[in-house]
């Protein structure tokens, strides 16, 4: 999409379709240049407490929905329309949609933590409910009727008993609601829903399937230069010298150097690629990474560990009971890459006093402060606009690419597009951190857990800091907050089952070997892998069926139901593990794991059927059965797609993925050295969604990632009698476990 | 600057490049055909797949000089939102893409498969698409869409 077209779309959308409701709104400038030319600053309401920040009734009868959360492929574009349209009383095709633009949409926080619907969607629901109440009140006045006799539907307020209604546009078109979100505005009875709960198609799908969808990677601005950034050969290396003559055969290319930040720019993209490959630069030696084969010992031995007791239920000291033996086990989850299929890309146009950055980041609003700070600009002069990228599943390289582009654009005085190469994305995306867990526990003679202790080693989250340091500002020596934010990685480290004594201790590491960042369902896949594998170990030690053992300790009826549903899908045969085939050449087994996500959100139970080949150590996952309860379902097809994706992506992480590194740098920088799941590896999926229309809707994009590791490890144990406690479950590890079993 | 003439989506087009080794991918994107995606530049992921003389080909490895004189079909050339190719229509009906970055390459590989084999088995599809990576986990829907496009299941 050209900037001209983008500008046309922008003005059309914002100034016409959104209508004159946005009183005082003026074109804020699509580019830094427009900012710099003194365009009037935006006066659109952005306060997430104001109805007008979310909704505008347009003169043509449509409604524009302004959403601070972004659609990363998870389907918010339709789900948010369903929520708003349902509550307001207007069809989804009458709702226009603007998302993730710091100048136009309210800050609803990052699109992360699986909270798009459960937080962002609920703000929109309340805004729409408040608006509907206002529209009905306006109509009641006009019609001289009571509000109770009126209903909002099809974009009108209509008398319930029939008769002529009044269109929303007539009631308020071209005016603001001028209302705060009313948390008590009555919500529709779910029994009367006509939009929420239906599998409406996602509006971006046809364009994505026919090639007309504009991704971040496809976006251009007139006069734009193409750039490639040259990262150092070692994580901490400093730039000594650059030999600019090494690219003199590429006359359109030139070098940009700001301290240790090195890039080439060219008018033509291929020339930029060639220049980046040809450019000779001299860097300092650096080998500060830990040895990969000693990573676990390095984590345990970190001299800067800070201990924190996260959970202490029951007696504090050691617990003993006659006849019970303490069991213990250690689990490890390695560093993993987000593995985006498209390397990160961004475009920026930065002038001396304003900046516009187009980015595929999950956090346009969340990055606003960070970008303003390193660019040395006031926040209101920095605008971040979301465009879809390749899926990021957390914080991949999108933010770094955007920072690259912003710094380069400012340096060269023209818009710059930065496209990372494959080795940049694999090598430099911030990584899911390593997680080490020591678990111990005991089961009493009645087959119940009575003592449990989790100790976990994981990088700290630095409170109140918005970001990990971005690569470019750090290399260029710009002002940046140096925080760590790997996500809420300590959750679900305690069992969801009744126990007399539960202790969870975090050994917070000051740093991680490679920049840590949230990766889908941060921390929880590792914690649940440990907790639910260890639960299985306790069940096996007690000679109990794994499903029966779990149900004994569980009181939450929604938890019980997902376990029963998953077991039913599996045709679960009640017996202890391991099963009968553990000495066969091809061993088969089944396993199950359960999670109540963050102990407060969605419920998931997942069973797996596996075959393990003794000779090769290869695991074949034949079937995954998942029962999933995320409360009220907004769009069942969207939820189903998220559960499918969560299962397959996490299977890939569990079976195959581990970032490889030497003492200087990441060495797994392509799809051969960092393999992911392929079509022949894909199991049959059976997913049961449990809709609870009267419960609050919960996130669907993360929770079902969480039990994958344990469900698989438990199935492998059932098949083989061997316990896998280190991810990924490579054939070598399986063979080692088999020979140790 | 040399000119390379290709037939792209049924139309004679010229790609200008000073480097005969420039991958076709950059040439296509440079003339506005951006449905073909850069994924790895190494022929490992399939996001840049196009049909060259009917065969699914990695446009990141095919040079513009080698592609000269050949017939290239990109995702845009198969169909449009208003008139999608049957495989595109099946992908839309099955709501396959999430982020969608890999989807174009999947559709190209599927079209090539169905040209060779009108009624592929599920295993045929898995094998034909083995070189197409998807990170969102849309695989099950891809298989269902290709089966549906071949008049099976769905």
Q: Do A209 and B92 touch (CB under 8 A)?
A: yes
pLDDT at A204 over 70: yes
pLDDT at residue A551 in the model: 97
Tens digits of per-residue pLDDT, A518-547? 999 999 999 999 999 999 999 999 999 999
State yes or no: pLDDT of B113 exceeds 80: yes
Query: Quick one: pLDDT at residue A173?
Result: 86
Q: What is the pLDDT of residue A321?
A: 73
> What are the backbone angles phi and psi of residue A566, rounded to the nearest 5°?
-65, -40
Q: What is the average pLDDT score of chain A? A: 92
For the purposes of burial, counting CB atoms within 10 Å of the CB of B65, is it exposed (0-12), middle (13-18) or buried (19 or more)?
Answer: middle
The token duo for B89 is 């229509």
Residue B101: list chain A partners with CB under 8 A: 215, 340-342, 389-391
B107-123 average pLDDT score = 98
pLDDT for A530 equals: 98
pLDDT at A82: 98
- The reply to whether residue A685 touches residue B17, judged by beta carbons under 8 angstroms, is no
Q: By mean pLDDT, which of A20-34, A164-178, A204-218, A275-289 is the weakest? A: A20-34
Backbone φ and ψ of A176, nearest 5°: -85, 155
Answer whether A648 sits within 8 Å of B140, measured CB to CB: yes
Q: Is the pLDDT of residue A51 over 60?
A: yes
DSSP conformation class of A594: E
What's the rounded mean pLDDT across residues A599-628? 98
Tally the residues of chain B: 154
Classify each residue of A41-60 as buried b or exposed e, where b means 16 or more C-beta atoms within 10 Å of its C-beta: ebebbbebebbbbbbbbbee
Cα separation, A626 vs A605, whole angstroms: 6
Partner-chain residue, chosen from B30, B37, B133, that has the shortest CB–CB distance to A678: B133
Task: Tell me which of A155-159, A368-372, A443-447, B143-147 is least confident.
Answer: A443-447
User: How many CB pairs below 8 Å do chains A and B form together?
Assistant: 179
A583 pLDDT tier (thresholds 50, 70, 90) = confident
Residues in chain B within 8 Å Cβ distance of A205: 91-92, 95-97, 100
Choose among A73, A212, A672: nearest Cβ to B98.
Answer: A73
- CA trace torsion B135, B73, B76, A343 (10° rounding): 30
User: Which of A207, A268, A682 lies nearest to residue B81, judging by beta carbons?
Assistant: A207
Categorise residue A480: left if φ over 0, alpha if ψ from -120 to 50, beta otherwise.
beta
User: pLDDT value at position A488?
Assistant: 84
Q: How far is A57 from chain B (nearest CA, A)?
A: 28
Above 70 in pLDDT, residue A4?
A: no
- ipTM of the complex, rounded to two decimals: 0.99
pLDDT at res. A14 = 41
- A648-668 pLDDT, tens digit per residue, is 999 999 999 999 999 999 999
Nearest to A455 by CA among A490, A421, A417: A490
What pLDDT, on a 0 to 100 scale, did the predictor assign at position A34? 42
State the average pLDDT over residues B64-68. 97
Using the beta-carbon criterion (under 8 Å), do A206 and B92 form an inter-chain contact? Answer: yes
pLDDT band at B1 (very low <50, low <70, confident <90, very high): confident
A679 interaction partners in chain B (CB closer than 8 Å)? 125-127, 129-130, 132, 139, 142-143
Cβ pair B136:A647 closer than 8 A: no
pLDDT average, residue stretch A220-247: 98
Collect all residues of chain A within an 8 Å Cβ-Cβ radius of residue B83.
none
Element at A2 (helix H, strand E):
none
Name, in order, each residue with C-beta under 8 angstroms of A515's C-beta and a sequence gap of 6 or more: A430, A431, A468, A469
Does residue A39 surpass a pLDDT of 60? Answer: no
Q: What is the pLDDT of residue A317?
A: 65
According to the model, what pLDDT value does residue A16 have? Answer: 32
Q: How far is CA A107 from the centre of its chain?
A: 17
Band (A460; pLDDT cuts 50, 70, 90): confident
> Mind listing the pLDDT tens digit for each residue in A660-702?
999 999 999 999 999 999 999 999 999 999 999 999 999 999 9
List of chain A residues whose C-beta atoms are within 8 Å of the C-beta of residue B78: 210
pLDDT digits (tens, 9 = 90+) for A408-429: 999 999 999 999 999 999 999 9
Chain centroid to CA B132: how far?
A: 10
The helix/strand/coil state of B139 is helix
Q: How far apart are the first and last CA of chain B?
A: 50
Find the mean pLDDT for residues A29-37.
41
Q: Nearest residue on chain A to B99, judged by CA atoms? A: A73
The mean-pLDDT minimum among A1-10, A165-174, A331-340, B134-143 falls in A1-10
Distance of CA A266 to the CA centre of its chain: 34
Q: If you search the block for the tokens 């996952």, which residue do you land on?
A: A621
Per-residue pLDDT at A31 = 44
Query: What is the distance, to the nearest Å, from the Cα of residue A573 to the centroid of all Cα atoms in its chain?
Result: 36
- List for chain A the helix, strand, coil content (%; round to 5): 35, 20, 45
Q: Do A641 and B99 touch (CB under 8 A)?
A: no
Report the pLDDT value the prediction gives residue A465, as an integer from 0 to 100.
Answer: 56
pLDDT digits (tens, 9 = 90+) for B45-63: 999 999 999 999 999 999 9
CB atoms within 10 A of CB A732: 9
Q: Using omega within 30 degrees of 0 as the cis cutoff, is the peptide bond preceding A728 cis?
A: yes
Task: List phi, psi (to 5°) of A79.
Answer: -65, -40
Q: Give A210's contacts in chain B (Cβ within 8 Å).
A: 35, 75-76, 78-81, 84, 88
- Residue in B84, B133, B137 closest to A671 by CB: B133
Confidence band of A43 (pLDDT split at 50, 70, 90): low
């Amino acid at each position: 999409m050209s900037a001209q077209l983008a500008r046309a779309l922008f003005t059309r959308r914002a100034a016409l379709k959104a209508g004159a409701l946005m009183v005082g709104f003026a074109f804020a400038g699509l580019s830094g240049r427009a900012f710099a030319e003194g365009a009037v600053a935006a006066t659109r309401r952005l306060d997430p407490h104001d109805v007008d920040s979310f909704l505008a009734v347009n003169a043509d009868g449509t409604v524009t929905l302004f959403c601070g959360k972004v659609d990363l492929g998870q389907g918010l574009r339709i789900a948010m329309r369903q929520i708003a349209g349902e509550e307001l009383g207007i069809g989804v095709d009458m709702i226009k949609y603007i998302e993730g633009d710091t100048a136009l949409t309210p800050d609803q926080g990052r699109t992360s933590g699986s909270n798009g619907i459960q937080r962002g969607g609920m703000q929109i629901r309340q805004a729409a409910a408040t608006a509907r109440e206002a529209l009905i009140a306006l109509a009641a006045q006009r019609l001289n009727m009571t509000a109770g006799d009126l209903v909002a539907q099809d974009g009108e307020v209509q008398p319930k008993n029939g008769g002529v209604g009044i269109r929303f546009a007539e009631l308020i078109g071209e005016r603001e609601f001028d209302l705060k979100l009313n948390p008590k505005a009555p919500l529709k009875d779910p029994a009367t829903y006509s939009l929420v709960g239906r599998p409406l198609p996602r509006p971006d799908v046809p364009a994505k399937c026919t090639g007309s969808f504009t991704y971040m990677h496809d976006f251009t601005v007139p006069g734009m230069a193409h750039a490639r950034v040259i990262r150092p050969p070692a994580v901490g290396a400093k730039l000594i010298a650059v030999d600019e003559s090494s690219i003199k055969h590429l006359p359109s290319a030139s070098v940009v150097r700001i301290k240790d930040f090195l890039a080439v720019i060219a008018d033509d993209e291929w020339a930029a690629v060639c220049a980046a490959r040809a450019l000779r630069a001299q860097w300092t030696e650096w080998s500060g990474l830990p040895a990969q084969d000693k990573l676990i010992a390095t984590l345990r031995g970190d001299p800067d560990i800070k201990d924190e007791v996260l959970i202490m239920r029951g007696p504090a000291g050691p617990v003993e009971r006659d006849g019970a033996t303490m069991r213990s086990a250690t689990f490890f989850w390695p560093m993993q890459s987000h593995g985006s299929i498209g390397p990160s890309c961004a475009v920026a146009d930065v002038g001396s006093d304003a900046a516009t950055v187009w980015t595929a980041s999950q956090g346009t609003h969340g990055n606003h402060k960070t970008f303003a700070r390193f660019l040395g600009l006031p926040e209101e002069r920095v605008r971040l606009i979301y465009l879809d990228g390749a899926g990021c599943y957390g914080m991949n390289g999108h933010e770094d690419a955007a920072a690259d582009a912003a710094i380069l654009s400012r340096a060269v005085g023209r818009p710059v597009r930065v496209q990372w190469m494959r080795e940049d994305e694999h090598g430099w995306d911030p990584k899911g951190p390593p997680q080490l867990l020591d678990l111990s526990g005991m089961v009493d003679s009645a087959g119940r857990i009575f003592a449990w202790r989790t100790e976990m080693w994981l990088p700290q989250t630095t409170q109140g800091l918005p970001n990990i340091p971005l690569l470019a500002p750090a290399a260029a020596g710009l002002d940046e907050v140096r925080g760590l934010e790997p996500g809420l990685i300590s959750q679900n480290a305690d069992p969801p089952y009744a126990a007399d004594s539960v202790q969870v201790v975090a050994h917070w590491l000051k740093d991680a070997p490679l920049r840590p960042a949230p990766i889908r369902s941060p921390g929880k896949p590792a914690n649940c892998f440990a907790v639910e594998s260890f639960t299985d170990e306790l069940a096996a030690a007690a000679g109990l069926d794994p499903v029966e053992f779990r149900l004994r300790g569980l009181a939450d009826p929604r938890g019980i139901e997902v376990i029963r549903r998953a077991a039913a899908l599996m045709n679960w045969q009640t017996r202890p593990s391991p099963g009968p085939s553990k000495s066969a050449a091809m061993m088969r087994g089944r396993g199950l794991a359960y999670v109540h996500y963050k102990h407060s959100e969605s419920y998931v139970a997942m069973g797996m059927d596996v075959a393990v080949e003794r000779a090769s150590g290869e695991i074949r996952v034949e079937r995954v059965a998942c029962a999933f309860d995320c409360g009220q379902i907004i769009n069942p097809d969207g939820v189903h797609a998220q559960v499918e994706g969560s299962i397959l992506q996490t299977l890939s992480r569990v079976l195959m993925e581990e970032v490889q590194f030497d003492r200087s740098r990441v060495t797994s920088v392509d799809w051969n050295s960092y393999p992911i799941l392929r079509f022949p590896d894909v199991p049959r999926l059976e997913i049961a969604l449990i809709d609870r229309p009267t419960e609050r809707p919960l996130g669907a994009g993360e929770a079902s990632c969480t039990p994958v590791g344990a469900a698989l490890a438990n199935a492998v144990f059932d098949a083989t009698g061997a316990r896998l406690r280190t991810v990924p479950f490579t054939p070598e590890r399986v063979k080692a476990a088999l020979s140790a079993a | 600057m040399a000119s390379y003439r290709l037939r792209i989506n049924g139309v004679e087009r010229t790609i200008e490049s000073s480097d005969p080794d420039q991958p076709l991918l950059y040439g296509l994107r440079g003339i506005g055909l951006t449905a073909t995606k850069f994924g790895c530049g190494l022929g490992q992921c399939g996001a840049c797949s196009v049909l060259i003389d009917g065969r699914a080909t990695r446009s990141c490895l095919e040079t513009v000089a080698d592609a000269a004189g050949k017939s290239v079909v990109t995702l845009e050339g198969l169909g449009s939102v208003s008139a999608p190719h049957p495989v595109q229509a099946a992908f839309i009906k099955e709501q396959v893409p999430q982020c969608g970055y890999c989807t174009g390459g999947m559709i190209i590989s599927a079209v090539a498969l169905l040209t060779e084999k009108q009624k592929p088995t599920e295993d045929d599809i898995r094998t034909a698409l083995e070189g197409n990576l998807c990170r969102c986990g849309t695989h099950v829907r891809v298989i269902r869409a290709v089966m549906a496009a071949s008049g099976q299941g769905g």
